[in-house]
Amino acid sequence: MSTTGVLIMAYGTPSTPEDVEAYYTRIRHGRPPTPELLADLVRRYNAIGGTSPLARRTADQVHGIAAALDAVAPGRFDVRFGSKYEPPLLEATAESFRRDGITTVIGLALAPHSSSMSTDQYMDRARAALGDDVSFVAVGAWWQAPGFLELIARRVNEALDKVPGNRHRTTEVLFSAHSLPEKILANGDTYPDQLRESAERAAKIAGVSRWDIAWQSAGRTADPWIGPDILEVLRTKKGEGVTDIVSCPIGFVADHLEVLFDIDVEAQGVAKEIGLNLVRTSSLNDDPEFVSILADVIRIAAA
């Protein structure tokens, strides 16, 4: 049987503080950030230790997926990583498959929900880099993969166990994902629907009756982004009598800036300011059960 390529894709993160400006410039499609924008991003990285652990976390995830695939189908899959905004860029990885004579590549983004403005862009860029001579199989949203929401529900219950009187009616679970510009909605993008449905199902599996969704990490642009923002929602919940929040960033699969700063620093800061107890679910990272779930998604796509 011929080897099947697997292109694992993620957003990427700067490896060192010196890489931040180049990384931000790529995000802005070649336009260098203003000194103010750059300083703000550097400030956020400094708040979590200077750089994000995402590069290491992603490498561990990719290694775990490769090992899980090799355990059930030795030698069948060649797993490589490509990033959207930080070397190795996904185009370079895609081209490496073509150079090595691999004629079928499966693409999977490390994000459970899909959108025209996020995961679809990964797939479009990979497909273009691979060219017409390589068969490309794009894996879309995978939040419905068997076992994934059960894994999320377990994380929710583990976090609830840290809340005194965790089943009290003033405790609420808040599921969140990365916001995107509102303009995606004009074309019928189902991204918000995916978040709500995945949250609803995870809450049901966890046995949680009080839950809601929020959006986080909106970009610094003039365009309106999908809301309500999690910081706003925290204040609303406080006003409604909620005393404890379990934050479950279900749209993210690893520790990085959007989790370690946007939740653990910024949201936690607001929660403390207004008198809310906020506990976050632990990130999936390279949990063996999680990488095995993704390996199964890939195997099904390859069938």
Question: pLDDT (tens digit, 9 = 90+) per residue, 8-29?
Answer: 999 999 989 999 999 999 999 9
161 lies in the same domain as 77: no
CATH number for the domain that contains residue 206:
3.40.50.1400
Count of structural domains within the chain: 2
30 lies in the same domain as 105: yes
Which of 106, 172, 96 has the alpha carbon at shortest distance from 139? 106
77 lies in the same domain as 173: no
Sheet with 171-178, strands from edge to edge, namely 211-216, 171-178, 244-248, 277-280
Alpha helices in the chain (DSSP H): 20-27, 35-47, 54-72, 90-99, 119-130, 148-160, 191-206, 230-239, 257-260, 268-274, 288-302
84-96 pLDDT tens trace: 999 999 999 999 9
51 lies in the same domain as 168: no
Mean pLDDT of the chain: 96
DSSP string, 190-256: -HHHHHHHHHHHHHHHHT--SEEEEEE---SSSS-BSS-BHHHHHHHHHHTT--EEEEE-TT--S-S
226 lies in the same domain as 270: yes
42-63 pLDDT tens trace: 999 999 999 999 999 999 999 9
pTM equals 0.96
242 lies in the same domain as 127: no
User: Residues of 279-288 as b/e, b for ≥16 C-beta within 10 angstroms?
Assistant: bbbebbbbbe
128 lies in the same domain as 253: no
157 lies in the same domain as 274: yes
- Backbone phi and psi for residue 103, each to the nearest 5 degrees, phi listed first: -105, -5
167-218 pLDDT tens trace: 678 999 999 999 999 999 999 999 999 999 999 999 999 999 999 999 999 9
Which of 8, 4, 1 has the alpha carbon at shortest distance from 286? 8
Contact 193, 107 (CB under 8 A): no
13 lies in the same domain as 128: yes
- Domain span at residue 60? 4-142+286-302
- Tokens for 12, please give them: 């990427």
Contact 6, 98 (CB under 8 A): no
